[in-house]
Amino acid sequence: MPDRPLSINSFPRAILHIDGDAFFASCEQARDPRLKGRPVITGKERGIAASMSYEAKARGVTRAMRLSEIKKICPDAVFLPSDYETYSLLSKRFYEIVRRYTSEVEEYSIDECFADITGLRRPLRMNYPKIAVRIKADLDRELGFTFSAGLGPNKTIAKVGSKWKKPSGLTIIPGYHIHQYLAERYTEDIWGIGPQTSAYLKKEKVNTALDFARKPEDWVREKFPKPIQETWRELNGKFVLALETKEKESQASVQKVRTFTPPSKEKEFVFSQLSKNIENACIKLRRYNLAASRGEFFLKKQNFRYAGIEARFSRPTAIPSDIVGVARTHFDEIFEPGTSYRATGVTLFKLSEDKVKQMDLFGEAIRAVELKRLFEGVDRVNGRFGKHSIFLGSSFLANKFSQHLGARGDLPKRKSLLAKGETKRKRLGIPMLMASQSGI
């Protein structure tokens, strides 16, 4: 790209998007230096690749590839069970480092965020590109693996920048250079433009992001809904999509899915796994003081096909025993005897504030209040002694046996190496602690 001195007009708003490179696999490499430079794949417990290091990607490994297939093209691959506790803790550290520079941070996902650094040139005594360089350098150094970043006048352009050069890239796109970058990106490469929209644009002979950005506004308004119109405006350098920096206070729906190995044909075992998912979903509902009016229960077969059913509840509820009862009623409609299942799941939706609206003649309202208090007490006990210290009898088999048995049942190192005073359920918030290395 041609050089040109950056001015204040280059960034009427300065938005930084930061994306962790191969985040889960990189967390493992950072924790164990012996894994540096090796093809690392997480997801051993699921039998498929959940994340892979760039060394593995270079060998042709892709996400969701089966481990048996990976071994054929990458026999020296290192397979590890996913350690989401550690990934979450490192994610929090990632956000904390960015917040040293700005409080305006949107935690977009576990491995990426947006940061608004507008107006910080004078307080930090450096221009926007230097601020971006400093943040990236701190992240790379302190977390022990690399991040890719993009700086632009809005979120969409910042996203273009972070994807431009991976891994460990930093791409700065001032307003007057946007068109040069968009000319080299197809519409499907743009954040916010899905495959259906991209396919339609191709029929309209709109192939690149620049083609779309140059379309008249009236044409865009006529053919597309508001979200795509907003993306079009951002591609033209406008700041439209504000950062969502507040902690999420509610949920549109709650979903819990649980994979287990080996697959099972046992009806009660599979139902127990579903029951545990329902309990986990209800824990989240109660956290936000929400109740669900409808739910979908589904089973995943060994051949990766799904069977599911949607049900309406008699009243909005966050009581797991109520929802498990509904699931039990419909379970035979989706469970096929003799079929192997590898996962169960539940989605609860049509959410509303959890409150009893009126009394009734049969005491259901009183029962609902008593059950709500009961499970609030269960939440307090589980909060103190560990999740699922108290659970429903229908979840017994899922809690009695490990989620994954055999080779896939390996525990993440953070769970198998405990510090003094830690238990399997209660651990210090220290992601990098390795008991074998620390001498604890």
Cα 121 from chain centre: 32
pTM confidence score: 0.71
Q: Identify the three-state secondary structure at position 157.
A: helix
At residue 326, does pLDDT exceed 60? yes
For the annotated catalytic residues, the residue numbers are 112
Q: Give the Cα separation of 351 and 144 in Å (integer).
A: 41
Nearest Cα to Cα of residue 319 among 356, 339, 292, 340: 292
pLDDT over threshold 90, residue 129: yes
Using the Cα atoms of residue 210, residue 113, residue 412 and residue 437 in order, give the sign of their dihedral. Answer: positive
Mean pLDDT across the stretch 211-234?
96
- pLDDT at residue 171 is higher than 60: yes
Given a cut of 80, whether residue 237 has pLDDT beyond it is: yes
Q: pLDDT class for 174, splitting at 50, 70, 90? A: very high
Q: Report the candidate in 149, 165, 129 with the shortest Cα–Cα distance to residue 11.
A: 129
Question: How distant is the alpha carbon of residue 93 from its chain centre?
Answer: 16
Q: How far apart are CA 186 and CA 164, in angstroms?
A: 13
From first CA to last CA, the distance across the chain in angstroms is: 53
pLDDT in tens, 67-123: 899 999 999 999 998 888 889 899 999 999 999 999 999 999 999 999 999 999 999
Whole-number Å distance between alpha carbons of 301 and 335: 10
6 contacts 121 by C-beta, under 8 angstroms: no
> What percent of the residues of the chain are helix, what percent strand, and what percent coil, each to the nearest 5?
45, 20, 35
pLDDT for 411: 60
| Bridge partners, 16 (sequence order) | 115, 151
Give me the amino acid identity at 105: V
In this structure, the dihedral spanned by the alpha carbons of residues 42, 48, 53 and 57, taken in order and rounded to 10 degrees, is 170
How far, in Å, CA of 176 to CA of 135, rounded? 24
Residues 403-427 as b/e (b if ≥16 CB within 10 A, e otherwise) read ebeeebeeebbbbebbeeebeeeeb
Length of the chain counted residue by residue = 440
Residue 420 binned pLDDT confidence (cut-offs 50, 70, 90): low
- pLDDT-derived band at 8 (thresholds 50, 70, 90) equals very low
User: What are the C-alpha distances in Å from 97 to residues 92, 102, 105?
Assistant: 9, 9, 11
- pLDDT-derived band at 430 (thresholds 50, 70, 90) equals low
Domains by residue range for the chain, with CATH: 1-174 (3.30.70.270), 254-400 (3.30.1490.100), 412-438 (no CATH)
pLDDT tens column, 351-389: 988 876 554 444 566 677 788 888 888 888 877 777 778
Q: What is the pLDDT of residue 275?
A: 96
